[in-house]
Structure formats: C-alpha cells, structure tokens
Chains A and B, each alone.
Chain A
C-alpha cells in the first residue's frame, strides 16, 4: 500500500483546478439561468488566443513579431494571461447578443444555440490554428518540478492551484463587496426587481456573460500547459463543469467550489488506487450526492421541499 497523503495533496490541487474551470460556468448559470454549452469552447479559445499572444502568432514574420519574441518569456506569458481572457470575454459577449431572442422561451432554445456556438468556435479554432496538438509554454520560474516527501510534484500545477485560490477569492470579493457585485447577485435572485429599480438588465447580462466567458478563457490558459491544447478540448471541460455545479447546487458559488474539491479528491484518490474508475468517480459522486440531496451540497431549497 502506497502512502495516501501525496494523493490527497494531489486531489486537492486537482479540485482547485476544477473550481477554476467551473467558476465562470456557475456565474452564468446562477445569474442568467443559461447552461452555456459553449463554456468549454470559450475555455479552449481563450487558451489559443493566449498562445498566439505569447508566441507572436499575430505578428509572425513582421519586425514587431521579432521584437516581441525578444521580450522575456515571463512578460509575454502574463500579457497572454491578460489578453486571452479579455478576447474570450468579448467572444462571450457576442454570444450573449445572439442569445437574446431566446430569453423567456423554453431553455432548449438557449441550449441549442450555445451548443451550435460550441461547434462554431471549435471549427474556428481548427481553421485558425489547425487540428494538431499544441503545447503552451510557461516561464522558467513556474516550470519544472520540486521534491516533497521524497516525491516529485509539478511546480506549475501548484502555481495553477494557487492561481485558482486567488481567482476564487477575487471573484467572491467582487460579488460580495462591490456595488456591481450586489447588482449581479440581485439580478440572480430577482431580475424583474433589478429592472424595476432602474438598472439596465440587458447590460447586466452582457457583462455577466462576458465576465463568465473571460473566466473560462483564463482557466483555459492556466490549464493548457497541463492538458495540452487541441481544438476539441472543450468537450473535456464542459461535462465536469456541469457536474460540479449540479453537485454543488445550481447557483451556489461556494457549493461549486466545494463540489470541485470533492471531484478533485475523488479523481485523485481513485486515480491512484482504482485508476480504471477515476473518470467514472465524478459521476458516482454526482449520484451519491444528488441521490440524497436533490438540490446539491449548497443549493437553495426548492418550493417542492417545503
């Protein structure tokens, strides 16, 4: 029997990365009640856009491109980390504009539209960057590995987990401590009241969708050095993200974080001791939790439960 502790650490790290993936997804579902099936594609698009920024793909062969590539890798990486999510956010805003005619109609319209958008984004990626596997470079200071308890761990993975913690806290602080966060939360609770108070609901939705999509793009950029980059990566992302928000309770921010950590621990532990079950573990977790508590870990009580 091998030691459990490294696998618990690994599971926790994985969980934080899952939380980063689910963050934008849960925000959009919570505020807009739209299941954005293009979330995974926006995740992938953000990563590709960041890749082109880092590698000067936009300006390859020009004097600016040459100058750009002479900059330190760390500078280019962090500029990519800023630009990729912003561009993914803009793509998300465009998608929200397309979604507008579906508001107030059966959810299937929104789902089909976001599903179609996912296919379109994937094809755009194929056309723009090709079908082959690409790898995301990382700066020297966060690459490599370190020893802990006699075992080797990836420095980058711990950086990504730390990044996820900071991102989660910042998003939470934004929602809890800023006036705009309060409007977003109020919009999630009762959008008609927000409109009645004079706030522009259409603009609120546009911003929330853009922000959620930017978070997806940021997660894509952070996860790309671990998972690699390929056009159909989105499918690997949207299903865990969906499961996590259901396990955590739809619309619950901390529910999603807790669910992501549970999914990470389940994947990590089964990956070590029963690897054939590692991908299945998140589905088993879903059945176990939703079977006993239909609204998820921290979901709001439904009228039917009263």
Chain B
C-alpha cells in the first residue's frame, strides 16, 4: 500500500502555526441565572483569567463573586432584578482582556464588568470600559499604576497595591535586615510599579538598591537569578513575582536553603499562590489584606459559608483573593441599591462615597474608597509562615496590622487624573 510522503517543511510550518495557537486558546463559559420576575436581569461581565499565569487566582476571584451573587439573588436580586453573569477567559493577556471587554459590552449587553488579577489585563479592560462608560471593578490586581496613572472614572480598585504593602514592610525590614537590597521584579506593569514604590521607600529610609533583576513572566527556572543574588550578598530581597512564577521560585529557594538568608520581603502574598505548598516554602515576610483565621467577628461564619458553597474546592478556606472578589461584588450591589438606579454616574458617585466599618469588612480598621484615585483604602497585615502548625490550612502567622492611613499610597493622587463625569459616556444597565 502506498503511503504519501509529507515534506518536512510542510510539517514544520503547520506545527509552528498550531503551536502558536496554543498560547491564544482558552476555555470560555456562559452562565445564566434566568430571571424569575418581569424585571430585566442585571448582566455582570466576569473578566477573570481561567488560563495562564493567574488561572488559579482567577478561579478564586470568581468564587468570591459567585458567593456574593448567590447571596444577592437569594434575597431577590438587586433593585428587584436578578443578577446574570457572563464569563470569558481573559487568559492573563492584556490583548484578550481588551477583546473580552469589548465583546461583553457591545454584544453581550453586560452592564458592569468585574474581575482582574493581572494589572496589564485590568488596565486594558478599563480603557474599553471607560470608552463606553461601563463601570469596571478591578477586584484583585494591585499595581500602584492601576489607581495612579492608569486610573479611570469608571474603574474601582478593591485590592491594596504594591505601594501599600511596601509601606507596611520596608522600613521595619531595613532596620532588621540591613540597607543592602536586591529587587527581583516581574517584568510587567505590576512588578515595575511595585518595584518603583519599594525603591522610593528604600531611598526615603536610607536603604540601598544594589541591583534590580527583571524576571520575564513565565519563568520556571530561577537558578540563574538565585546564583546572582548569592554573588551580590544582599541583606534582603524584595520580590515582586506573581502567580505560578512565584510558586516555582519559592520551591527553588527552599531547595537551596536560601529562605532565611537573605531575608525575603514579598510585598503581597496571594493565597492561591501558596496554598498547599509545604511551610518551608513560605519563608520571609509578606503582606495580605485578609486572613481566614483573624480573630474578628464574622470571620468564622464567612469561612463556613465558603465551605458550604464550595465543598469540593481544593482551597479549603477563603483567602485574600476570594475576599476581594466577594467584597467588590457586594459593594457594587450595595451601591446600586443606594443609588436606586443602574445609571453609571449615579452608581459611580455612590462607590466614590463608599465607607465600610471594620466590623462589616472583618478587618481591624474602617475602610473607604478614595474618591480621588478610586482605590479601596484598607488594613494591611504583615505575615510570616506559621511554623509548627498542625493545621495545614493555617499557614500564616500574622505579625501585625497597619491602618489605611499608615500605608496610604501618597503618590497615587498626583498620578491619577480621573476623567470628568461629563466626559464619561452615560450608561444605564
């Protein structure tokens, strides 16, 4: 039997096309909660990553939204209207974020957009949202530029940013670990703007940046960078490495026994990035906005609600990413109720005046939305590994907390130029 011969060139060309296709494909999902009353449902476009470097955090972010949406729908919806959701995978890619936002607004009639982990993606989505006047809640991306130079009238940022975390950690760490620092920076907007905040604080408090090592997103092997750090012998390393890259980095540092020396200052520690890792991978000092084991009213009930709604989820307790997703969604619904309307300008004004008591938010300090930058001002917790614990979920030991006033990003207000209400298109969901 004759068999056709295939040319090597043809084989390779086709393979190259298909391989490059791998990077751009991802799952997408459409979830509908059918309206039970006559009122038109409120459509919420969920713009979170289901693939790429932040796929795990994106899933946790969505769970937070789902719980807030389920609670709102159980109470009869918002303004008597049920909440419908539509999700597309933003693939941890800014170009995809932009395309997804455009489609959600123009073809899927989403009245609000919500969700972000990667700051480049959040920035891309917010530019599209501003063009149409659609309110966008950046739940979990925390580049200082998100509420600084890339701020928009329609965008509200619910996570603390790199500058807040750096303020909570840098001064005390210089005193404890010395002035000589190396910065290990993910080479994209969050890494760069977080590193810029750290550099400014180092200068302010008499520290010295020996070198900044830029790490491309998607790095799996950190041995070259770790060898370089050993050769430079810093007192501390400020790492702004996120998502899956951070997991790989932590494991490699632990294997080398470099977790104790130099000191590692990881500005922000997202829960999905470390959950399930051995405790010896959780070295250093790091910041978070919330921890499931805080001894505050309401926390244990919140954990129980999470576990009842997600009984089969690998992450057995809610973390900061879930918390931000939940609260952003809940605050949006509350703002719509207070406005008595889904008109974007009315809801924006309500979100700009948002104030939440410490008790309601299950944090140590009252929180509020800064009307000049649209960033939530909230408590920051400095943590380290809870060495010796028998409870595999209880990984963090909280060292202390800072009030929003102590860690406020003082540069954001100058950098943020919000569009006027008049230049923001009117939109009613």
Interface status of B252 (Cβ within 8 A of chain A): yes
Interface status of A164 (Cβ within 8 A of chain B): no
Interface residues of A in 236-270 (CB under 8 A from B): 236, 238-239, 242, 246, 250, 267-270
Name which of A3, A250, A271 has the most chain B CB atoms within 10 A of its CB: A271
B191 to chain A, nearest CB (A): 11
Interface of A is mostly: helix
Given contacts A115-B18, A133-B247, contact A276 B187 (CB under 8 A): yes
The answer on a CB contact under 8 Å between B255 and A2 is no
Q: Which residue of A lies closest to B13 (CB)?
A: A107
Interface status of A284 (Cβ within 8 A of chain B): no
B314 to chain A, nearest CB (A): 4
Q: Which residue of B lies closest to A237 (CB)?
A: B220
Interface size of B by CB at 8 A reads 54
Q: Which of B8, B56, B224, B251 contacts A10 (CB 8 A)?
A: B224
The answer on a CB contact under 8 Å between B231 and A151 is yes
CA distance in complex: A130, B276 (Å): 11
Interface, chain A (partner B; CB < 8 A): 2-3, 6-7, 10-11, 13-14, 33, 35, 37, 103-108, 111-112, 115, 118, 130-135, 143-145, 151-154, 156-157, 191-192, 225-228, 230, 232, 235-236, 238-239, 242, 246, 250, 267-272, 275-280, 302
The answer on a CB contact under 8 Å between B257 and A144 is yes
Q: Which of A6, A226, A242, A278 contacts B227 (CB 8 A)?
A: A6
Given contacts A154-B252, A191-B3, contact A272 B247 (CB under 8 A): no
Q: Which residue of B lies closest to A271 (CB)?
A: B224
For A152, the chain B residues whose CB sits under 8 A away are 230, 256-258
B277 to chain A, nearest CB (A): 6
Interface residues of B in 96-121 (CB under 8 A from A): none
The answer on a CB contact under 8 Å between B220 and A227 is yes
Q: Which of B8, B232, B248 contacts A227 (CB 8 A)?
A: B248
Interface status of B300 (Cβ within 8 A of chain A): no
CA distance in complex: A152, B255 (Å): 10
Q: Which of A14, A132, A235 contacts B276 (CB 8 A)?
A: A132
The answer on a CB contact under 8 Å between A157 and B216 is no
B270 to chain A, nearest CB (A): 12
CA distance in complex: A147, B65 (Å): 49
Q: Which residue of B lies closest to A235 (CB)?
A: B22
Q: Which of A107, A230, A267, A272 contacts B11 (CB 8 A)?
A: A107
A192 to chain B, nearest CB (A): 7
The answer on a CB contact under 8 Å between A246 and B12 is yes
The answer on a CB contact under 8 Å between B258 and A225 is no
The answer on a CB contact under 8 Å between B22 and A238 is yes
B228 to chain A, nearest CB (A): 5
CA distance in complex: A37, B14 (Å): 12
The answer on a CB contact under 8 Å between A154 and B15 is no
For B206, the chain A residues whose CB sits under 8 A away are none
For A115, the chain B residues whose CB sits under 8 A away are 18, 21-22
The answer on a CB contact under 8 Å between A151 and B251 is no
CA distance in complex: A149, B18 (Å): 45
The answer on a CB contact under 8 Å between A134 and B218 is no
The answer on a CB contact under 8 Å between B4 and A276 is no
Q: Which of B14, B19, B223, B232 contacts A2 (CB 8 A)?
A: B232
CA distance in complex: A191, B6 (Å): 13
The answer on a CB contact under 8 Å between B214 and A275 is yes
The answer on a CB contact under 8 Å between A236 and B8 is no
